[in-house]
Amino acid sequence: MMVDTKKSRGSKGPLAALSKGIGRYILILLGLAILDALGIWLLYLLIRDGAWPVATPIAVILILINVLNLSPKLFPIRWQIPAGAIVILIIIFPMVYTIYSAFTNYSDGHILSKQQAINRLAQDTYLPEGSQTYNWTAFRTEEGVFSLWLVDQGGEDYLVTLDTFQDAEPGEGIIGPADENGVPESLEGYQRLARLEVIKYLPELDGIQFGIYPDQVQIVDLDYAAPLVQRYSYDPELDTIIDEKSGIVYYANEDEGYYTSLEDQNLIPGYMVWVGVHNFERLFQSPAFRGPFLRIFAWTIAFAVLSVLTTFAVGLLVAIAFNDPDLKGRKLIRSLLLIPYTIPGIIGVLIWKGMLNPHLGLIPLTLERMIGWAPEFYNNPFWAKIGILLINLWLGYPYMMLISSGALQAIPDDIYDAAAVDGASGWQKFWNITLPLLLVSVGPLLIASFVFNFNNFSVIYPFLEGKPPMANTPTPAGHTDILISYTYRIAFEGGGGSDYAYAAAITIVIFFIVAVLTLIQYQYTRQWEEVSENV
């Protein structure tokens, strides 16, 4: 049913309509102009400072807002602007970021950019062999110029400034008399800084070379100054780093993201580089696929499907049971039934875990007392799965209860009356009227719940971390592991620390798997949408 915007304009006089239209139009233009000005300014600042990944979605949003508001044909899409802008910024942007990461080697050892790695290496210093170290005392003028009194290991005294390094004696010239440690009490024009007083000036003194080549010192700590030398120097033309201490030259290795020497020694830290499809190749050659991949995949689907079915069944049952306004206390009952949803999920999972504990948990203990046997919820693969489904049911039915009760309101009573007149029983009313109509609005949510539970790491992991363990697998696997917990384990518990890029690649592959499943279910539920249009 096409909605024609012009037709809905109203049937007042054309002139009145026109003036109203123009007034509104000017308002829109003004609003856009202000928005554009602010937006362009923000984009300018972002791009100037190199943050074009952030600038891009904002530019897209700005353009869309302009186009949608200026084109009358696109009126219906205008309603999407608030939600659309938010989704582009908060969902699409991280998605693109994740996809990009999957093609890099972003992992432990490669989280810095090349420039950051160079900077980090530039910080390292060393003391050349045979160098003197000095005790020092600082003097400071009112304007903030520093001078240091140095005493070397042989007891010789020196006075240094930013560009001079001179032998000195207390009592000479501007140098005041010595105190009991042999350090001058004063220096003309300068104030002597006590040990603790110097601390606040340390940021200024940090890294500053006093003296003049070849006699230079830096402050090392409150006791010592020494002629520290930068250990790694960078040659931008050749893109190499030289270890001044050993003389070894390191060349940029863009394939792996390291500076590497001819002897295959890598400089730590490495940096992030583009690696193309390397992570995906690794994934498909991974031992994880040789392992119980199919078993885990099957359980993941089973877990998601069963979770949806059980939570929906219970949620719906409860919603229907307390839909009757005559039922006394139903407000209270429904509020009490919501409570599992209001408690932080993690503690819910852990309390259930405690209740199912074979030694101390209430449920096994009670069962043993009553019937002499209790399931091994932690060790037996089957019962562990039942356990996690039970927990998920407890956590999830209130949500289903809420949306079912909302959807139930939408079914007009007269349908039921008509059915009653036709002699339909309660069950028939439910099965042929309530359920189909309910599924129209709730259907896509069941799919969404399936998707959510397919990747429901935050329930599986706190319970038993995927255990009980499977024996004889190439990589660690557990019976309650779902696809995502199983595969992320490779990325975060592999031999190289945390491999985020690898995890991103895994994420994308899982996305495709679930997307396919979702599309199939979506096609299936599309027919329900047609049902509602014909009611």
Partner 1 sequence: MKKKALSIVIAAILGLSLLLSACASAPEPTEVVVVEPTDVPEPTDVPEPTEVPELPKIVIWADETRSPIIEEVAALYAEVLGIEVEVVQLGFGDIRDQIKVAGPAGEGPDIFIGAHDWLGELVANGLVAEVNLGAKADSFFGPGVDAFTYDGVLYGMPYASENIAFFCNPDLLEEYSVARPETWDDVTAMSETIITASGGEVAGWTIQSNDPYHMLPLVSAYGGYIFGWTDAGYDAQDVGLDSEGGIAAANWLADMSTAGYVEAGVDYDVMHTLFEQGQVACIGTGPWALSRIRESGVAYEISAYPAGDATNGRPFLGVQGFMVSAFSENQLLAQTLLQEVVATDEFMQAFFDIDPRPSAWMPVREATADLDLAAFASAGSAGMPMPAIPEMSAVWSAAGNAEELIISGELGGEEAFMDAAEQIRTAIAEGN
Partner 2 sequence: MSSQTPIIPAEENKKSAGLTSRRRWGMALRYLVALVAILFALFPVIWIISASLNPTGSLAGQKLIPDNASFANYKSLLNDPIHPYKTWLLNSLKISTITSLLGVISIVLSAYSFSRFRFKGRRQLMLALLLIQVFPTLLMFVAIFYLFQQLGQYIPGMGLNEHAPLVLAYLGTQMGIQIWLMKGFFDSIPRDIDESALVDGATHWQIFWKLIFPLARPMIVIVALLVFIASYQEFVLASVLLKDKAMYTLMVGLYLFVSEEFSKNWGIFAAGGLMGALPIVVLYQALQDQIIGGLTAGAVKG
Q: How many CB atoms lie within 10 A of CB 490?
A: 19
For residue 126, give every residue at least 6 positions away whose Cβ sits within 8 Å of its Cβ, in sequence order, or none. 228, 229, 231, 244, 245
For residues 312 and 463, which CB has a smaller minimum distance to partner 1 in the complex? Answer: 463
Residue 444 is a binding residue for partner 2 (CB under 8 A) = yes
Closest CB to partner 2 among residues 268, 519: 519
Per CB under 8 A, does 123 bind partner 1?
yes
**445 is a contact residue toward partner 2 (CB under 8 A):** yes
Cα gap 513→509, rounded to integer Å: 6
User: What does the DSSP assignment read for 72-98?
Assistant: GGGHHHHTTHHHHHHHIIIIIHHHHHH
375 binds partner 1 (CB under 8 A): no
Give every strand in the sheet of 232-235, ordered side by side: 232-235, 240-243, 249-253, 258-261
> Does 40 engage in binding with partner 1 (CB under 8 A)?
yes
With CB cut-offs between 5 and 8 Å by kind, which of partner 2, partner 1, none does residue 33 bind? partner 1
Question: Does the protein bind partner 2 through residue 91 (CB under 8 A)?
Answer: yes
Return the number of the residue (291 or 396) whose C-beta is nearest partner 1. 291
User: Considering beta carbons, is residue 7 or 359 the nearer one to partner 1?
Assistant: 359
CA distance 325 to 328: 8
Between 42 and 178, name the residue whose CB sits nearer to partner 1: 42
- Residue 250 forms beta bridges with which residues? 241, 261
Binds 178: which of partner 1, partner 2, none (CB < 5-8 Å by kind): none
Distant-in-sequence, close-in-space partners of 514: CB < 8 Å, separation ≥ 6 = 451, 454, 455
Choose, by CB under 8 A, the member of 90, 222, 336, 346 that binds partner 1.
222
* Residues in 338-397 at the binding interface with partner 2, rule: CB under 8 A: 338-345, 347-348, 350-352, 354-355, 357, 360, 362, 365, 394
Q: How far is the CB of 175 from partner 2 (least distance, A)?
A: 48
Determine if 473 is a binding residue for partner 1 (CB under 8 A).
Answer: yes
Q: Which of 196-204, 215-223, 295-303, 527-535 is the region at the interface with partner 2 (rule: CB under 8 A)?
A: 527-535
Distance from C-alpha of 292 to C-alpha of 474, rounded to nearest angstrom: 9
Measuring CA to CA, which residue among 259, 267, 253, 271 is closest to residue 501?
Answer: 271
Our CB check for partner 2 shows the closer of 263 and 533 to be 533
Our finding on whether 98 is near partner 1 (CB under 8 A) is: no
Of 18, 63, 96, 162, which one interacts with partner 1 (CB under 8 A)? 162
Pull the structure tokens for residue 284. Answer: 């498909």
User: Does the protein bind partner 1 through residue 5 (CB under 8 A)?
Assistant: no
Name the residue among 105, 236, 115 with its Cα closest to residue 500. 105
Q: Which of 213, 373, 427, 512 binds partner 1 (CB under 8 A)?
A: 213
**Smallest gap, in angstroms, from Cβ of residue 10 to partner 2?**
5
Nearer to partner 2, 218 or 404 (CB): 404
Check binding of 511 to partner 2 (CB under 8 A): yes
Q: Could you tell me if 219 and 228 are in contact, meaning their C-beta atoms sit under 8 angstroms apart? A: no
Query: What DSSP letter does each residue of 497-529 carry, written as one string?
Result: B--HHHHHHHHHHHHHHHHHHHHHHHHHHHHHH
Query: Does residue 202 interact with partner 1 by CB under 8 A?
Result: yes
Nearer to partner 2, 183 or 408 (CB): 408
Q: Is 337 in the site for partner 2 (CB under 8 A)?
A: yes
Binder of residue 411, out of partner 1, partner 2, none (CB less than 5 to 8 A by kind): partner 2
Residue 522 interacts with partner 2 (CB under 8 A): yes or no: yes
Query: Which residue's CB is nearer to partner 1, number 259 or number 312?
Result: 259
The token pair at 157 is: 């005294």
CB 500, CB 101: distance < 8 Å: yes
384 close to 426: Cβ distance less than 8 angstroms: no
Per CB under 8 A, the list member of 14, 31, 406, 497 interacting with partner 2 is: 406
What radius of gyration do the chain's Cα atoms show? Answer: 36
How far is Cα 464 from Cα 13, in angstroms, rounded to an integer?
A: 72
Residue of 10, 359, 427, 527 that binds partner 1 (CB under 8 A): 359
Going 327 to 404 to 385 to 395, the CA torsion angle's sign is negative
Phi then psi for 111, rounded to 5 degrees?
A: -95, -10
Provide, rounded to whole angstroms, the least separation between the CB of residue 229 and partner 2. 35
Classify strands 232-235 and 240-243 as parallel, antiparallel or unpaired.
antiparallel
Q: Binder to partner 1 among 10, 11, 12, 50 (CB under 8 A)?
A: 50
Range in contact with partner 1 (rule: CB under 8 A) among 53-61, 232-240, 331-339, 512-520: 232-240
Furthest C-alpha separation in the chain: 119
Can you tell me which of 268, 362, 519, 520 binds partner 1, judged by CB under 8 A? Answer: 268
Report which of 176, 177, 183, 138 is spatially closest to residue 157, judged by C-alpha positions: 183
Minimum Å distance from CB 270 to partner 2? 18
CA distance readout (Å), 62 to 20, 29, 45:
26, 14, 15
Task: Among 493, 526, 531, 535, indicate the residue that binds partner 1 (CB under 8 A).
Answer: 493
21 touches which of partner 2, partner 1, none (CB within 5 to 8 A by kind)?
none
Nearer Cβ to partner 2 (56/161):
56
Selected from 121, 138, 384, 437, the binder of partner 2 by CB under 8 A is 437
Closer CB to partner 1, residue 379 or residue 521?
379
